[in-house]
Every structure is written in C-alpha cells, then in structure tokens.
Amino acid sequence: MPVRTAFAAQIEHLQILDEHGKLDERLAQGTLTDEQVVFAYERMIDYRKLDEIAFTLQRSGRMYTYPQNKGQEAAALGSGLAMRKGVDFLVPCYRENAALFLHGLPPECIFLHWMGDERGNAIPSGVNVTPIAIPIGTQMLHAVGLAWAYKLRKEDRCVITYFGDGATSEGDFHEAMNFATTFNVPCVFFCQNNQWAISVPREQQTASETVAQKAIAYGARGIQVDGNDLFAVYKATTEARDRARAGGGITLIEAITYRLGDHTTADDARRYRDTAEVESWAAKDPMIRTRKYLESKGLWDEQKQAAAEEHGKAFAQDIVRKSEGIAKPEVREMFDHLYAEIPDELRRQRDTLRTHSLGLYPEQSGLAVSGRRGS
C-alpha cells in the first residue's frame, strides 16, 4: 500500500510594520486608517503612563498588586480595534487593559480591582467585557459558552478571548478549543505569547514550534503575528472575526510579544531573565515603531509627542484620583450578590456578623454589628 499524506499544514507568520517602523504597503491595504493609527498611538501613550503610575502606586503601598502591560499594547489595541465596540464581547485574562478600555471599561475599574476591591470587577452595563480572570485559562471556556449562546440566538456577534502562552498548557485551553471548533461558535482565540509565564520560558511550556500550530489539531486555523505590530494584529483579528461570524470556523492567533515588565509587582524578573534578552525586546517595543511610522508619514512630530505625553500624565492622574476617591466597602456588603435574594440564614449572619451557632443569640452580641464602618 502506498504511503500517502493524510494531512499537511503550515503556519504563516504575519508582519506588516517592522521594528524600524517600515510598513509593507501591500499587506497594509484595507487595514488601519491614518486616524486610527494616530488614535492608537495616543492610547498607547495614555495606557503606558497608566501602567507606570500603577507600578509606582504599588511600590508606595497605594495599590495591592499589579501586572504590568508594558510592551504588549499593540496586541491589545490592534485586536481591540478589530472587534466591534458594543457588539462583540471581550473575555480577557489580565494583561490586555488597552483592549478593555477601548471597549468602554472605565480604567478606574481595573485600578480598583488591583487596589484590593472586587467592586472593580463590576462591569458597567453596556460594556461588553467580562471581569479579568486570574485563575489562568478558565475564561476560555466561558468565552466559548458565550459564543455558543450567540449562535443559538442567531445573533451576529463575536467573542474574543485572551490568554497567555502559559495558559495553553491548561486543560481548559484544550477543552475550549475542542468545544469551539466542534460547535463552530463565533469565537476568536487570542494568545499573547509574551515568552514568559512568571519564570518559566515559552520553550519549557510546550515543545511545539509555535502556539499557533496547536489550532490544527482541533480543526481550527492558526496564525502567528508580530504582536508588537498594530497592523498585523488588526488584520489577523479582523479576518478571524469575520470568518467566525460567517460560520467559517475558529482562528487561534498567536501574537508574538514580550512582557517588558515583571509578571506582577510581586515578581522580580531580573532574577531569571537575561538583560540582553530584555534589551533586544525593548528595541521592538510597539511604541517605538508606531511613532517612527507616523513620523515617516508626516503624521507626528515632537510637538505632538509632548502634548500627547502631557495628556497621558493628566489622564493617569485622573484615574488615580477617581479610584482612590471610592469609599471602602461596608462589612455587610460581603453578603451581597451571593443569591438573587438573600436567604434568611444569610440575612441573620449579615445582621449579627456571627457564624451560625453564635448567630442564634444576636441579642447577646458582644461583637460589632452590621452597618459599622470597617477600619
């Protein structure tokens, strides 16, 4: 019997704007307008400032912890721009702030969360974003469920879910990809491959040459893009979104980027990463190439840069002011939102602040009761 090829595949790598700011005009056709690129670059400045101020706040004890987004702004903005605000849905992990802000999430929500207050997870109505997910990978299945609901209701909407290279080792990734392709739901899988899962390098996370090729086993399309290239990310995500909406199948986008900061403020990446490696990636920073491109097109200059930086500073300070101005939660609030209607037993606990047995005797309470302000 002759040996035949049962299946063959290849993974493409897309880059449109290189690290020197040079654009491939042919590939860039039909992607971002000049206005969009200027807008995106201005947001990069704003959100980088916000990122920096968050780091400072944590160091001075005003923020509990914070995962820096530094260096990954193009991945978040390019994909966020490709999804339709108010129509499509974003199911994030925790390192794509820019996409969430673009879709209407008030930045003070993210700040409040990292300041140690889960009211920051309360998403304003009309903002199609789920709360950031920190257990690693669990959100991918939520995204598939959401997309499945869209499909059942025959709504022309699409979901994008974000996760890191580390999360592709979780069973949830496999299960989510498998369900998504089997049910053919309108979902885009967006992997921010930032090379490091805390201290574990990408090579130790998986023996695959690429993350993108993992798509093939599930019957999905896989594509690798330069994640620091706004154009490539936008183009790949737009195509993936349209394909998913049309029932054409799932796309797994692997955005090659780099975590220029630490995993979180609780980490010190200098202990396990080479300075030379970090420096080589710092040169590929999306902000550098985007600015170079805009300058080469005559769309940007020193004056605009200075003004944009002033704007970013004011923007970040405003977010700090807003998030620090929110009063602490009342103790009794911890009993809220557990059930649609609070059960009697829980109500009694809330009113006496006692565990079950002690709560039988609220009249003998020697403890603080509800309504008192916590310290």
Question: Which residue numbers are catalytic?
Answer: 259, 263, 272
Bridge-partner residues for 187, per DSSP? 159
Taking the complex as a whole, how short is the minimal distance between the CB of residue 291 and other proteins, in angstroms? 35
CA 325 to each of CA 118, 200, 321, 374: distance values in angstroms, whole numbers, following the listed order: 15, 38, 6, 16
Taking the complex as a whole, how short is the minimal distance between the CB of residue 109 and other proteins, in angstroms? 14
C-beta closer to other proteins: residue 22 or 119: 119
Bridge-partner residues for 372, per DSSP? none
Cα four-point dihedral sign 200, 226, 223, 100: positive
Please tell me the distance from the alpha carbon of residue 177 to that of residue 170, in angstroms, as a whole number: 11
C-beta closer to other proteins: residue 269 or 288: 269
Taking the complex as a whole, how short is the minimal distance between the CB of residue 178 and other proteins, in angstroms? 15
Taking the complex as a whole, how short is the minimal distance between the CB of residue 361 and other proteins, in angstroms? 6
334-351 per-residue burial string, b: 16 or more CB within 10 A, e: under 16: ebeeeeeeeeeeeeebbb
Q: How many CB atoms within 10 Å of residue 116?
A: 11
Query: Judging by beta carbons within 10 Å of its beta carbon (0-12, 13-18, 19+), is residue 16 exposed, middle or buried?
Result: buried
C-beta closer to other proteins: residue 114 or 218: 114
Q: Which residue has the tokens 């897309």?
A: 14
C-beta closer to other proteins: residue 17 or 167: 167
Nearest one of 49, 65, 37, 24 to 267, comparing CA atoms: 65
Nearest one of 109, 43, 107 to 81, comparing CA atoms: 43
Taking the complex as a whole, how short is the minimal distance between the CB of residue 66 and other proteins, in angstroms? 13
Contact 89, 160 (CB under 8 A): yes
Helix (H) or strand (E) holding 37: helix 34-59
C-beta closer to other proteins: residue 106 or 362: 362
For binding to other proteins (CB under 8 A), which residues are involved?
Answer: 64, 116-118, 134-138, 166-167, 169-172, 197-200, 204-206, 271-272, 328-329, 331, 333-335, 338, 345-346, 349, 353-358, 361, 364-368, 374-375
